Amino acid sequence: MKKEHIGLHCAALIIPISNTTMPSQLSYSYEPTQFTQTFVEQRKELGARAMPSFPRPIESVDRGNLLKVACVQLATPGSSSPKQFIDRAEEAVVKAVYEHGANLVLLPELFQGPYFCQSQDAALFAIAESDIDVDGENDLIAHFQKLAKQLQVVLPISLFERKNNAFYNSVVMIDADGTNLGIYRKTHIPDGCGYQEKFYFSPGDTGFKVFHTKVGTVGVGICWDQWFPETARSMALLGADILLYPTAIGSEPQDPNLDSSDHWQRVQQGHAAANVVPVVGANRIGTEILLDKDGKEKQRIAFYGRSFITDVKGAIVTEAKNGADIISAEVDVIANRSIRAAWGLFRDRRPGMYGIIKTKDGHQPM
């Protein structure tokens, strides 16, 4: 399909993060208290780590109206060391820029460690990040600000946030010059077997947001947000040129036969088509095994990957292979804005008729 028809081009090559693609069967185990202790100890070292010097890649030179987005699918690491979690993410960003020419890179949800919401364990509150809204105060954000500035790439960073006595599942948007553009806090918080997020996170209070970056207007939701059309429509109304969803989704511990991966993709394809905006979903892949204090398995989730990028009509133009992969595509921001305007979906909206959406059960109060 020609560029002017879809406004988005798919990179032909999917590049694994390591020399060999990691199989989805790869797994690791963790016990929450032990992981938390190691995490806290190793995070103290992050602020002292020197950032390598990266020359500006020739591919990252101003691309005009073209936003080159890379979607990173991270695989289960060889160990549960927090340092390894962050190292693999940093390596992926560098490869996305140098090997794909990306100027926007999306990492999965809560990539600094295992998806800890499999269980309810108070010890894990200690791994939450504070002061993420102040430049230079949080070591994790400061680290990725330095990386973004050197590589001139936009980086949405998903993390577990602590704000005084409140805890959120949040994204900090870092612009291509290293500027902290602000925070989005996850609006919809799931609660189910294996995905017990309501124990850890309060519903976000930021409202839906877009961020005006150097490569375009970027909207970001977080995982469970992606199932709600209101999330995508709100960001589109705010002028989003692209919708990003960092994700952690896989098997359902209560029903091993349930595979939501097709449904997961289709609902987001619908958001892209209904709003005429490309959608990017970055998931993790591999099996994470939750242990009890005696080292015995309590539960496991097999994250299914299937990270993808759509065009403005909702078609998937590239999907990650099985394992740790980087996929990418070019988005012609100006051409896409013209397509949206010409299609008339926003022109013909009737906001005054949609009051029922504000209700919980479909009935207006008497």
| Average pLDDT estimate for 97-113 | 96
Is residue 199 predicted with pLDDT exceeding 70?
Answer: yes
Residue 16: what pLDDT?
39
**Catalytic residue chosen out of the listed positions 68, 95, 186, 209:** 186
Question: For 79-93, 118-132, 150-164, 186-200, which range has the lowest pLDDT when averaged over its residues?
Answer: 79-93
pLDDT of residue 145: 95
Q: Give the model confidence (pLDDT) of 20-33 as tens digits.
A: 333 445 788 999 99
Q: How far apart are CA 85 and CA 359, in angstroms?
A: 41
CB neighbours of residue 52 within 10 Å: 10
Tell me what the mean pLDDT of segment 293-321 comes to. Answer: 97
User: What torsion do the CA atoms of 111, 305, 175, 102 make, to the nearest 10 degrees?
Assistant: 130
Say which of 71, 209, 223, 330 is annotated catalytic: 223
Residue 14's pLDDT is: 36
Q: Does 223 participate in catalysis according to the annotation? A: yes
Q: What is the DSSP string of 297-313?
A: EEEEEEEE---EEE-TT
On the CB side of 282, how many CA atoms lie within 13 Å of its CA?
32
CA angle 365, 189, 91 (to 5 degrees): 150
How confident is residue 141, by pLDDT bands cut at 50, 70 and 90?
Answer: very high
Mean pLDDT, range 112-141, rounded to an integer: 94
Greatest CA separation for the chain: 64
Whether 41 sits among the annotated catalytic residues: the reply is no
Q: Is 186 annotated as catalytic?
A: yes
Catalytic member of 10, 68, 83, 109: 109
Taking the C-alpha atoms of residue 23 and residue 94, their distance in angstroms, rounded to an integer, is 22
Q: Stretch 338-343: mean pLDDT, rounded?
A: 96
Domain 3-358 belongs in CATH node 3.55.40.20: no
% pLDDT > 70, the chain: 89
